[in-house]
Amino acid sequence: MNLDTLQKSNVGLVLSGGGVKGIAHIGLLSALMERDIFPEHISGVSACAIVGGLYADGVTIDDMLTFFKETPLLKYNFVTLNKPGLFDTDKYLPFFESFFSGSTFEDLDKSLTVVATNLLTGKPTYFNKGKLYLPLLASAALPPVFSPVTIEDQIYADGGLMNNFPVEPLQNNCDIIIGSYTTSMKTVTASNLKSSLQITQRANLLMLHANTVDKLCVPEFLFVPKGLETIGVLDKKGIGKAFNIGYDSANRELDKWIV
């Protein structure tokens, strides 16, 4: 595709879940912005909804990385005994208040949709207006690690449970859709499935991939960075590596696609 055409198009960007692996999305955004490509419509899920939110708020690439480096994931005094989940998701609200310039979807510079799973109805819910922070937290509330989030008497958890690649809000609203998929999937051996934790993590990955695979053909451009499988979903030490993988992969693919 011609670069000038892409720069002038109404571009949508869908970001899959992936935890720390999703920092690769920031690498993609960096590569796009260096080419003066600025998606106007973002749809994201799980921790990567936060990536989309930061971008939609006009936060710089460096400050996006700073947000994830400075926000604690498994802080001992965030442990809760009064809520389902190991860590109290509400304790993360102050970090949003300090990094975001506004508190509503309407305050953002770009259009943003985030998906969370309604645990009561068993259906995905798409948030794109009103208060911003709770939907972002809800979308990233991975059970059983983080407690569910209550919004208007409904209980929400990680959106990836129902839709790990929320491309639907972008369809019919964009000239071009760019997809970024960081829920890396590979074949494993029996030695990788010896503990309850390993079995749980594998089952979650299979579930996320299953509700995604049929939609990966929708975007005109799809980025699937290689090498993310060595990074743990909650491994903050992998932030820099995930960014570099995403950035390098995006540059290689964009050089192929854009003439």
DSSP assignment, residue 22? G
d(CA 75, CA 86): 10
Give the span between the Cα atoms of 73 and 87, in whole angstroms.
9
CA distance 200 to 106: 38
CA distances from 132 to 1, 32, 79, 98, 139 (A): 35, 25, 24, 13, 11
The Cα–Cα gap between 72 and 229 comes to: 22
H-type alpha helices, the chain:
3-8, 24-34, 47-56, 61-70, 93-99, 133-139, 196-210, 239-257
| DSSP of 235-255 | -GGGHHHHHHHHHHHHHHHHH
Place of tokens 């980025």: 223
How far apart are alpha carbons 49 and 236 in whole angstroms? 17
Q: What does the alpha-carbon distance between residue 97 and residue 95 come to, in Å, rounded to a whole number?
A: 5
Active-site positions read 46, 158
Spatial separation of the C-alpha atoms in residues 164 and 145, rounded to whole Å: 18
